[in-house]
Structure 1
């Protein structure tokens, strides 16, 4: 194969990497969602429970919405449903009375255990034909992509230093 073709193939592989990653993540969630429907849970209801179960303390509603990639009003309606089912509770944040803190209940933790078991089953099913070494290599690649994204977010969130006009800049029309 010619070096130019190798470069084109590598370029194509990079171009579609994110697209493939997003498709796989969506397919993985659909698999979990399909298996959990038998228990009356949908993607919308199991994901917040799953995320909250990993938190050792109550989580701000805004942080949970960000973690789930949901708009705040959508999360509020969803939390209403989960609260009525007894899976979560919301309390006013004492540090910021405008914020609500969400925590998982004991009943919610039981549901989270079920979700974890189903997710583990989906993982086993989808990765059955993949060796431990291949999974490790893939995990390392994904870790590096995640680290690059985090570094970019941190860099992008840094304030841009303002350049104060020096006396030479002020009113200097001559070259």
Structure 2
């Protein structure tokens, strides 16, 4: 049984690396990393949103998200606005350029996912997702 578990763990790591590299390759022409994309995607769906909330949703620590945000601000993809209700909070939204880039990237991500999941029925992907969530819960 030990070899079986070792094989699954090894294969999960290999697939995760290949998926990350595949996504990275697709995003390269937009000068965006997978980590930056995860932040852009969350801001796109939840704006205006606090940096702390972004960090929770992308499951990264605050300093890492802060560095990513600084890069995205320099690239003119994200804008920071002070919250009117609580001036200690900075809210994040996409800039006009960020909105345009997110739309282009969304297409690349969707094409990449189609390639990743080619030949696998949605029902099987649903079971796979459920199993992944249970494994993640076991790790917490």
Normalising by the residue count of structure 2, what TM-score does the alignment of the two structures yield? 0.76
The residue matched to 2:81 in structure 1 has which SS? strand
Count of residues paired in the alignment: 140
| Partners of 1:100 and 1:22 in 2: CA distance | 36
Per-residue deviation, residues 96-118 of structure 1 (Å, max 9, x unmatched):
32221111123212211122111
Report which structure shows greater RCO (CA 8 Å, sep ≥6): 2
Pairing 1:112-151 to 2, within 5 Å after superposition: 112-142=102-132, 145=134, 149=137
When you count helix as a share of all residues, which structure comes out higher? 2
Give structure 1 stretches of 5+ with no counterpart.
1-7, 154-175
Residue in structure 1 matching 2:88, options 91, 98, 109: 98
| Partners of 1:84 and 1:99 in 2: CA distance | 20
Residue in structure 2 matching 1:46, options 37, 52, 64: 37
Q: 1:93 to 1:34 in 2, by over 3 A?
A: same
RMSD: 3.0
Contact 1:49–1:111, Cα closer than 8 Å, also in 2: no
| Partners of 2:45 and 2:13 in 1: CA distance | 23
